[in-house]
A and B are shown apart, each in its own frame.
Chain A
Amino acid sequence: MNGNIVIIGGGIAGMEAAKALLALGHTPILVEASRTLGGHVASWHKLFPDMSSAKNLTARLQSEISGANIFTDTRVISLNRLVDGYSLKLSNGIVINASALLFATGFNLFDAAKKEEYGYGVYDRVITNSDLEAWFSGKEDRRVPKVPESIGFVHCVGSRDLKACNGQCSKVCCATAIKQAIEMKERFPYAKVYCFYMDLRLFGKKYEDFYVNAQRDYGIQFIRGRVSEVGETFDGRLQLKAEDTLSGKPLKVCLDLLVLMSGIVRNRSIEELSDMAGLETDSDGFLRSADNEYAVIESNRPGIYYAGACTGPKTVPETVAEARSAALAIHSYLESL
């Protein structure tokens, strides 16, 4: 085989892997379905916990991989297994024979409209985490009031919810909600900001500090209770119901803006492709790693590797680390052929 490497997906996982492979002397081929590189991170405003710019990260990565062969607005439409590699046909007509493949196909955000009780797409003042990031980045959104007096965040929308067909924790939304709550409080210091949570899972480096800052320095209120329903008041505001489980009382509050923390679900658009490659799906719906403790970046197929959220929800540093690790694994694999 020719030693070609195809990276499927041009988010931060795919780009970081391409960068590492270039440094190892390879010229990877990067295939991205959308028109621009950067994936979900490119549409995010700031990253937790240090509030660094997401765009700077994706722009820097993009400038560092100019030596790779990059196809944007291109899909892999068929994939055949050969004796010693894979043959891929792209939507632009190009056929590539490759020795190794990297799946960096990422995730989808849960469609918040499926949780009808929260009123996304029904009421004017309900948005999602990704809508809010777009607004932070300067995109107009008439759903965000000029000066909101009270703002609510609902954690676990489409995560840890069997009724939404996703029992898994999306891992990053707790810290994202705190980050966004702080950013809103910075913009609207007089607004009351409430976070409605089931559990707060602040596992990462400095996430807990982030939580304490939100409570102590920004006065954000954390209310333990899952929101049961949201309705609209006669004057176009929102009325939210939950239980204040710590006091054991039902609770209601009027809000000017409600932000739903949509969770991370598998990328459904790659199902056909992963089937063609002979990859397995794990019980959580994401691609199955060879081993969930020791070999997360390895698949059940020779020469196919994973990086990032295609195997489950991941933070940015986890994704970057996996991408580097997968690049090294591909390098060793090609050496061994």
Chain B
Amino acid sequence: MTDFGFTLSRSSTLDLQKVDEGRFEQLCRLEKGAAVCIGCGSCSATCPAGSLSGMSVRKILLAVRRGQDIHRMLQCCMLCGKCTMVCPRGINTRHLILSICSIYD
């Protein structure tokens, strides 16, 4: 291909219609609470691994919902369960994380 000295950036737009919701639906069957997240971020704020690794349960769940790759996003989780303690929607986030791991295995 001819090199013009510049390239086009790939669009970052998310096309909702093309989102593969298969994994999210699978997750909802394993952990019903996955659907009721309101994205408040309390799980991520309380996460002891979050400040060091950037890990965020909220972002991971959103990525699953949007059919995106979550490669290595969960590897810093220590399964301490603090996120489960604080979730205002009563989501068993610890079980949610284990369920996500089982789907993406």
**Which positions in A face B, CB cutoff 8 Å?**
150, 194, 212, 215-216, 219, 222-224, 244, 246-247, 249-254
Contact = CB atoms under 8 A, between A and B. Distances in A.
Contact of B14 (A215, A251, A254): A251
Interface of B: 12-17, 28, 32-33, 35-36, 38-39, 58-59, 62-63, 66, 89
B17 A253 contact: yes
A194 B14 contact: no
Nearest to A150: B17
14 contacts: A212-B89, A215-B35, A215-B36, A216-B35, A216-B36, A224-B39, A244-B66, A246-B58, A247-B62, A247-B66, A250-B14, A252-B13, A253-B15, A253-B16
Given A212-B36, A212-B89, A215-B35, A246 B62 contact: yes
Nearest to B61: A246
Nearest to B66: A247
A249 B13 contact: yes
Contacts of A212: 36, 89
A17 to B, nearest CB: 39
A252 B62 contact: no
Contacts of B33: 216
Most chain A CB within 10 A, of B16, B32, B59, B63, is at: B16
B39 A252 contact: no
Contacts of B39: 224, 246
A219 B27 CA distance: 13
A8 B49 CA distance: 63
A250 B14 CA distance: 6
B87 to A, nearest CB: 13
A223 B39 CA distance: 10
A251 B13 contact: yes
A224 B37 CA distance: 12
Nearest to B90: A212
A244 B13 CA distance: 9
Contacts of B32: 216
A244 B54 CA distance: 20
A246 B66 CA distance: 11
A115 B14 CA distance: 24
A247 B64 CA distance: 12
Contacts of B12: 249-250
Contact of B16 (A215, A224, A246, A252): A252
Contacts of B62: 246-247
Contacts of A244: 14, 66
A243 to B, nearest CB: 10
Nearest to A250: B13
B16 to A, nearest CB: 4
A-B complex: 9 closest residue pairs judged by Cβ atoms? A253-B16, A250-B13, A251-B14, A216-B35, A246-B39, A215-B36, A215-B35, A249-B14, A254-B17
Nearest to A244: B14
A196 B12 CA distance: 19
Nearest to B34: A216
Contacts of B58: 246
A194 B21 CA distance: 14
A194 B16 contact: yes
A246 B65 CA distance: 12
A251 B35 contact: no
